[in-house]
Copies of this chain bind each other. A is one copy, B any other.
């Protein structure tokens, strides 16, 4: 065993010039640490030996101080286990939040924050955002994840990591990982890319944040899908962008309306493979129209390809980026849906002439991405587990979707309209405008169902009412029960 004590030494000051004896100084210092909440009930304190070494005073001095604290009931000693702050101290001694050092806080002066900070929307504490299970959106089938393979790779890369992998401080991320992503994107998504253009980020949110910093000054216009993805809107709001709502229909973004409303927008934000939340795929005609608009107006396209991997009734649709001859598309992908979100890993395929700018923004933001999961996923891809996992999940989600659609149809008939069930891990249902989708979602949360109200995805007033239902993390046999709860929730508002 290593010789050093494994207990933290509290900050104790001794003043050798003082007339007060050292043991008394140590005693007062520790008592003060307890009474101000620096040391908490039940917390272990270092041995007298370790404390003596730390403060450079004799062990006898420390033993004298500890003895007094034990006698007065501040400390408690347990043979073999060490010395602890007593867990039965009177409350007034350990009251959390009491004035520092016994002084009363002074009246505080102004506490200014930035005007820009007020543009960031505060966090919605809505229940459906935090639940786990039916029908939380964007949750994959956690229990189907190949943890045994994953854990083998994680262990391999953390047991005896090589200093160079640990020391990779490239703001683009690990080269090996970027190569694996390129091979995947070229093959499965028809994206045109080389590793030099790929930047590893902590998910699509950071991808959008970096992109917004590179492309937009306050006041710049950006086309947004209506309805669309709320967290993308938050980024553009914080960046001070003027967001132009452009309606979505069953062919995706209506480019003509965009051109009418704001031809000179700096960019368009789109989810062409599986529009969020309504689920349509952007048609070939609209894709060409969009690219054409961007080329003629010197605009950019931000393609968020967030769950393109799962398409059930036809071959996957290739990316918009792959159609683009002018490198005007910033392509964003994530591992949140195919693996899981708390890995915090995604990527951007950056047009070559913007790589330097993206790198500068990323470097100032958080320098470079963490190493471990980059190496793990690179192996997971190279060894074929990634492709196999996608295929398995596609099969699984296809079943879950089928059961859900059937159950919705048999329970609700034509009172609910179903949208976007051809792909991904979620579908949307819409219902008559007199039903309050927020009230339904609140009622459902009491029943243990997590439903996103569709109306929250709209910027404009004429929102359709409905719900977004994620089925990634709901076993097929649990679906009938969950739909029954949904019926109860709808019936009760």
Interface residues of A (CB under 8 A from B): 2, 4-13, 36-40, 43, 54-56, 96-97, 99-101, 103, 105-106, 108-117, 120-123, 129-130, 132, 139, 142-143, 147-148, 150-151, 154-155, 158-161, 163-169, 171, 183-184, 186-190, 192, 194, 201-203, 205-206, 209, 213-217, 220, 231, 234-235, 237-238, 266, 295-298, 315-316, 318, 322, 324-328, 340-345, 351, 353-354, 356-357, 359-361, 363-373, 383-385, 387-388, 391-392, 395
Complex CA gap A384/B11 in Å reads 18
Q: Using known A-B contacts A325-B106, A361-B120, determine if residue A5 contacts B391 with beta carbons closer than 8 Å.
A: yes
Complex CA gap A209/B110 in Å reads 22
Our pick among B121, B167, B184, B318 for the contact of A360 (Cβ within 8 Å) is: B121
Closest to A54 in B: B315
Q: A217 contacts B114, CB within 8 Å?
A: yes
Q: A9 contacts B366, CB within 8 Å?
A: no
Chain B residues positioned under 8 Å from A201 (CB to CB): 366
Q: Using known A-B contacts A9-B188, A123-B171, determine if residue A209 contacts B364 with beta carbons closer than 8 Å.
A: yes
Q: A100 contacts B325, CB within 8 Å?
A: yes
Complex CA gap A160/B231 in Å reads 30
Q: B166 contacts A316, CB within 8 Å?
A: no
Q: Using known A-B contacts A121-B364, A209-B365, A342-B166, determine if residue A106 contacts B189 with beta carbons closer than 8 Å.
A: no
Chain B residues positioned under 8 Å from A37 (CB to CB): 186, 192
Q: How far is the CB of A86 from chain B (nearest CB, A)?
A: 16
Complex CA gap A150/B340 in Å reads 23
Q: B154 contacts A187, CB within 8 Å?
A: no
Q: How far is the CB of A181 from chain B (nearest CB, A)?
A: 12
Q: Using known A-B contacts A120-B357, A231-B367, determine if residue A112 contacts B266 with beta carbons closer than 8 Å.
A: yes
Complex CA gap A192/B96 in Å reads 10
Chain B residues positioned under 8 Å from A216 (CB to CB): 114, 116
Complex CA gap A363/B130 in Å reads 14
Complex CA gap A262/B162 in Å reads 48
Q: Can you show 11 pairs from A to B with CB atoms below 8 A apart?
A: A5-B387, A6-B388, A7-B387, A8-B187, A10-B187, A11-B316, A12-B315, A13-B315, A100-B192, A231-B364, A370-B373
Q: How far is the CB of A89 from chain B (nearest CB, A)?
A: 16
Q: Using known A-B contacts A116-B217, A123-B360, A315-B55, determine if residue A370 contacts B367 with beta carbons closer than 8 Å.
A: no
Q: How far is the CB of A15 from chain B (nearest CB, A)?
A: 11
Chain B residues positioned under 8 Å from A315 (CB to CB): 11-13, 54-56
Complex CA gap A278/B295 in Å reads 52
Chain B residues positioned under 8 Å from A171 (CB to CB): 123
Q: Using known A-B contacts A120-B361, A187-B39, A188-B9, determine if residue A296 contacts B384 with beta carbons closer than 8 Å.
A: no
Complex CA gap A363/B391 in Å reads 32
Q: Using known A-B contacts A11-B318, A326-B108, determine if residue A367 contacts B203 with beta carbons closer than 8 Å.
A: yes
Q: Using known A-B contacts A9-B187, A370-B373, determine if residue A106 contacts B150 with beta carbons closer than 8 Å.
A: no
Q: How far is the CB of A137 from chain B (nearest CB, A)?
A: 12
Closest to A212 in B: B114
Q: A158 contacts B169, CB within 8 Å?
A: no
